[in-house]
């Protein structure tokens, strides 16, 4: 049995900021991996929390969406109900910090589990953002891939009650998110794997690092030689593998990097 050194766990705000500043200074190719925790201060509740609207408006599994027209309509009803809750969400301190580091050329990619478009809203160009679970601010035809905007879809849905069909091919149109039971997006996964192999610092922010691929990417990056820093409000199962764990409020810790 090998003896593993324990990660350094930093709870004090000033120390966390100092450690992060040093790590960022010593890195040239940072991969920022973000989860729900970076968006909670923006008013997007973590879908894992028990009072989350996701419990009330439980997402419909992909299978059901595809084969049951009534469930497809229900999926759209829930989607629009959730959209109303998140409508006022704006990027937070963490988003702006990462946008700033992208602009400085420090961050090679932001790989996100979030679907809220807040990295884009904070000014990060699309080519730096890799969305593992898609994006909830537009829709796609599942047959031909044509992009559809939500506003006209919603107007038609509210008028007719019928789930939207593609205006080009008539195929089923779905929110551009990855539903439970839907395969991971191939292009995004490939881009993420390349960034994992390429980065010299893997900075995991606000992710519980439980589900695949969130649980696998940090360790893979380490095997390629990157440092691993985990910034999160709570413990994660990978804390013991990290080089440094920063435990605290994500916005507070990242605030100085937004300037």
Active site residue 133: yes
Distance CA 190, CA 119 (A): 20
Per rule CB under 5 A, is residue 8 in the interface with Zn ion?
no
Q: Cα–chain-centroid distance for residue 199?
A: 18
Give the nearest distance from C-beta 188 to Zn ion in angstroms. 20
Using CA of residue 57, residue 192, residue 186, residue 241, what is the dihedral sign?
Answer: negative
Query: Residue 164 or 251: which CB sits closer to Zn ion?
Result: 164
Give the nearest distance from C-beta 144 to Zn ion in angstroms. 3
Q: HSE of 69 in the Cβ direction (CA atoms, 13 Å)?
A: 6
Q: Pick the stretch among 42-50, 59-67, 167-175, 246-254 that binds Zn ion (CB under 5 A).
A: 167-175
Give the nearest distance from C-beta 162 to Zn ion in angstroms. 16
Residue from 19, 140, 166, 204 in contact with Zn ion (CB under 5 A): 166
DSSP one-letter code for 172: B
Count of other CB atoms within 10 angstroms of residue 184: 13
Query: Residue 143 or 241: which CB sits closer to Zn ion?
Result: 143
Give the nearest distance from C-beta 30 to Zn ion in angstroms. 38
Per rule CB under 5 A, is residue 165 in the interface with Zn ion?
no
The first and second tokens of residue 66, run together, are 């595809």
Per rule CB under 5 A, is residue 139 in the interface with Zn ion?
no
Nearest to 176 by CA among 152, 213, 150, 211: 150
Look up tokens 């988003």; give the residue: 95
Residue from 73, 77, 143, 248 in contact with Zn ion (CB under 5 A): 143
Binding site for Zn ion (CB under 5 A): 141, 143-144, 146, 166, 168-169, 171
* Residues classed as catalytic: 133
């Amino acid at each position: 049995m090998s003896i593993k050194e324990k990660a350094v766990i930093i709870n004090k705000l000033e120390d966390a900021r100092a450690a992060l500043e040093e790590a960022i200074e010593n890195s040239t190719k940072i991969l920022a991996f973000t989860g729900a925790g970076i968006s909670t201060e923006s008013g997007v509740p973590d879908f894992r929390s028990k009072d989350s609207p996701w419990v009330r408006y439980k997402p419909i599994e992909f299978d059901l969406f595809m084969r049951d027209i009534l469930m497809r309509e229900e999926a759209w009803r829930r989607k629009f109900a959730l959209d109303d809750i998140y409508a006022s969400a704006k990027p937070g301190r963490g988003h702006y910090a990462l946008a700033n580091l992208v602009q400085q050329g420090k961050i090679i990619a932001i790989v996100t589990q979030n679907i809220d478009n807040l990295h884009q809203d904070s000014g990060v160009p699309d080519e730096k953002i890799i969305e593992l679970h898609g994006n909830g601010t537009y829709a796609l035809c599942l047959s031909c891939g044509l992009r559809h905007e939500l506003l006209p879809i919603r107007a038609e849905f509210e008028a007719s009650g019928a789930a939207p069909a593609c205006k080009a091919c008539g195929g089923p149109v779905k929110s551009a998110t990855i539903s439970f039971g839907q395969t991971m997006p191939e292009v995004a996964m490939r881009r993420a794997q390349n960034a994992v192999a390429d980065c010299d610092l893997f900075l995991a922010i606000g992710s519980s690092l439980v589900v695949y691929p969130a649980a696998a990417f940090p360790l893979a990056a380490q095997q390629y030689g990157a440092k691993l820093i985990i910034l999160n409000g709570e413990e994660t199962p990978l804390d013991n593998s990290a080089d440094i764990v920063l435990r605290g409020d994500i916005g507070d810790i990242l605030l100085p990097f937004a300037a």
